Structure 1
Amino acid sequence: MEIEPITLSTPRPVRRPMLVQGWHELTFLHWPVEPERVAGLLPAGTRPDTLDGVTYVGLVPFMMRGAGLGPGPGLPYLGTFCETNVRLYSVDEQGRRGVVFRSLDAARLLPALVGRLGVRLPYTWSAMRLRRENDVLTYTTRRGRSAGPGPTSRVVVRPGAPIARPTQLELFLTARWGLHVLWHSRTVHLPNEHTPWPLHRAELLGLEDELITAAGLPHMTDAPVSVLYSPGVSVRFGKPSTLEPSLVPSR
């Protein structure tokens, strides 16, 4: 099946949102990986989405603001917290592109519980911080809230000039419009809607990360091939839809 090229347009508007969120102060770090190395980590009925035969591993720290159920408005306190996700890129047989989260660390307990128990996403309540000093952002994460050691991550970036015309790779990595997740033993696609990302170049000043390997992914020894920053967007999530049973192979 031929998949349509990545575009800036939103495939379908979300008319009755189930969730609202604000994704702000994001940094996108990405590394190329062979599709066969990560295919077994995706839910049934999906496969690695590729660009020129390559798929990608993403490390994305950011500030969540105003997350909430229904059409909103979101919660100003409980819905605002730091988050870091490790992600892969997927496509199903209906041509719907998405993100598959291998891990999500959140600095607030209630949203982590709702995400884990309600949507079946691999959330962990973790110690996190985002610090801005002049034009430099530092994201720090320590998995879990206990005193014992857990996987950690530290990302230091300097946002740069806005990108007027994103490359095909930059669109591939950011214009996803949904996620795939295994929900009650069935793979579902959860669509989202937001304005096109306002993307900026960014300079990576420091990186120490253990979250990627903790998520069962290969150790990334090289520098990321893409470093992007965005001030953020407001997001609306629509109703999940299951993959057609005939398209979901048994495993």
Structure 2
Amino acid sequence: MGTTRVPRPIMYQAWSDLTFIHWRYPAAAVQRLLPRGLTAEEFDGDAWVGLVPFAMEGLRVPGVPPPPGSSWFPETNVRTYVRDARGRSGLWFLSLDAGYLPAVVGGRAGYRLPYFWSDMSVRADGDRYVYRSRRRVPGPAGARCDADVELGPPLAGRDGLAEFLTERYRLFTVVAGGLASARVEHRPWPLRHARLTHLDEDVVRAAGLPAPAQEPLVHASAGVRVRIGMWSRR
């Protein structure tokens, strides 16, 4: 996909102790959840949906230290992969659960993203990540994501599917009824193979999709530092 530059970021953050959990979906099942102007992007004949739990660190705006309580909090995203009418690839978020209420308010107000406030935890224990999440507001209250992940060896060589699923440097949103996007900058993900030893979730169904019908593809990463630009209609 290729990295992108964000010369004037309006937000800095780091995503750490992260797991990518992905399932194949028929493109039509994903397309019906997308706004006008976006098309579900396929790999190997299918669209893909990701469940991505992680820890958010160091959230701040330029020139200002992180506000109290924002130095670390959990987040879990349900996302899919899209292309706009100009052929630009990016992310469409179906839901974002966060354990820090100001981030929920800011994400909804500033980027019009579907954030939810949730009771969450992330624990990194050697080669194991443990995630717990229960949604508070807005509903559906109680939507959950509990996952235990066992980390494996680093990925060796190029992996086209892993790059398609993880190397995404643009997010799309809808602002005042019109499609907008923001660029995201970070180094390529340092990925490891991983496997789920436990998964109990219904946030994918809460986002409007059928429950996953097959085993997921799983990768993990220690994380990356991120620069995010302001949304634009261009």
The question of whether the paired residues in 2 share the 8 Å contact of 1:21 and 1:74 is answered with: no
User: Secondary structure at the residue paired with 2:165?
Assistant: helix
Q: Is the 8 A contact 1:65 1:76 kept in 2?
A: no
Q: 5+ residue gaps in structure 2? A: none
Unmatched 5+ residue regions in structure 1? Answer: 1-5, 244-251
2: CA distance, partners of 1:71 / 1:165: 38
Identity within the alignment, %: 40
Aligned mates of 2:41, 2:92 — CA distance in 1: 11
**What letter is aligned with 1:85?**
N
Is 1:119–2:132 an aligned residue pair?
Answer: no
| Residues 12-161 of structure 1 aligned to structure 2 (within 5 Å) | 12-70=4-62, 74-75=66-67, 77-144=69-136, 150-161=142-153
CA distance in 1, matches of 2:71, 2:175: 23
Q: What's 2:209 paired with?
A: 217
Letter in 1 for 2:115: Y
Return 42-51 or 27-36, whichever deviates more: 42-51
What is the one-letter code of the residue matched to 1:82? P
Q: Is the 8 A contact 1:79 1:111 kept in 2?
A: no
**Match of 1:238?**
229
Residue aligned with 1:179, SS: strand
Using the TM superposition, give the Cα deviation of residue 20 of structure 1 relative to its aligned residue in structure 2, in angstroms: 1.2
CA shift for structure 1 position 116: 0.9
In structure 1, distance between residues paired with 2:63 and 2:46: 37
Residue 183 (str. 1) matches residue 148 (str. 2): no
Superimposed CA distance per residue, residues 69-103 of structure 1 (whole angstroms, 9 cap, x where no aligned partner): 23665447324200001011111121211111111
Structure 1 stretches of 4+ with a deviation exceeding 3 A read 70-77
Aligned-residue offset at 1:170: 0.2
How many aligned residue pairs are there?
233
Greater Cα offset, 20-29 or 159-168: 159-168
Matched letter for residue 233 of structure 1: V
- TM-score, normalising length from structure 1? 0.87
Q: Partners of 2:155 and 2:63 in 1: how far apart?
A: 31
Partner Cα separation in structure 2 for residue 106 and residue 213 of structure 1 = 18
Cα distance in 2 for partners of 1:116, 1:177 equals 20
- Contact 1:24-1:63 at 8 Å conserved across structures: yes
Quick one: distance in 1 between partners of 2:190 and 2:33? 30
Assess, with a 3 A threshold, how the Cα gap between structure 1 residues 188 and 138 changes in structure 2: closer, same or farther: same
8 Å Cα contact 1:200-1:228 kept in structure 2: yes
Give the superposition deviation at 1:135: 2.5
TM-score scaled by structure 2?
0.93
